[in-house]
Amino acid sequence: MRITIGSIIEVPTKLGYAYLQYSHRSRPYGKTLRVLDGFYKKRPNKKEFDELVQKPHLYYVITSLPWWEDLDPYEVIGKYSIPDFAKTFPTFKGGDYDSDTGKSCNWYLWDGDKEWRPENGKLTKEETCYPMLINYSYSSIIKKLERGWKPEDEVHPDDYK
């Protein structure tokens, strides 16, 4: 099945099946996916999916590679409308990697059109939760899901107000 906006991608993890929804095209960076909440031992039924897609997602990720076309196992299990709260293109945060802390620094924000530096070079508490402007591979998305990773985990406490 061809993947288009709204497609739900099922991926196996060590914790059960996880679900991603293709929500936005993010030129020049890649495809934006909503990471839906939860792990499932078996595929949810239609009613459960209707509810899952309408719930807040964990975060967004960007991927530039069509890994779902070359990788087994994965399955496109359907197409659902993007909920109203997720239709606006998200603002992402990006930064340089600091090898001393293992975190990012020198932050900037990007809303799909423009890029800017936060005031005083520090992120607000809300901005620490913005998704990372990184092209993730399939394996890194799965590893982050299995670890319970969140975008704010990339921010050193000294980097926000």
C-alpha angle 60/96/24, rounded to 5°? Answer: 20
23: confidence class by pLDDT, cuts 50, 70, 90: very high
Q: Determine the Cα–Cα distance for residues 97 and 57; give it in Å rounded to an integer.
A: 26
48: confidence class by pLDDT, cuts 50, 70, 90: very high
Hey, which residues does 107 pair with through a beta bridge? none
Quick check: 134 pLDDT over 80? yes
pLDDT (0 to 100) of residue 68 = 53
Q: Determine the Cα–Cα distance for residues 19 and 120; give it in Å rounded to an integer.
A: 37
pLDDT (0 to 100) of residue 67 = 56
**What are the pLDDT digits (tens) for 54-89?**
999 999 999 875 655 555 566 788 999 999 999 999
pLDDT (0 to 100) of residue 26 = 80
Average model confidence (pLDDT) across the chain? 88
The predicted model scores a pTM of 0.88
User: What is the sign of the dihedral through the CA atoms of 134, 156, 36 and 14?
Assistant: positive
pLDDT (0 to 100) of residue 65 = 59
Give the full edge-to-edge strand order of the sheet including 115-116.
92-98, 103-110, 115-116
Residue type, 27: R
pLDDT (0 to 100) of residue 158 = 72
Taking alpha carbons only, the member of 100, 104, 49 closest to residue 79 is 49
Taking alpha carbons only, the member of 19, 58, 37 closest to residue 7 is 19
- Which carries the bigger pLDDT value, residue 132 or residue 30? 132
* Cβ pair 156, 98 in contact under 8 A: yes
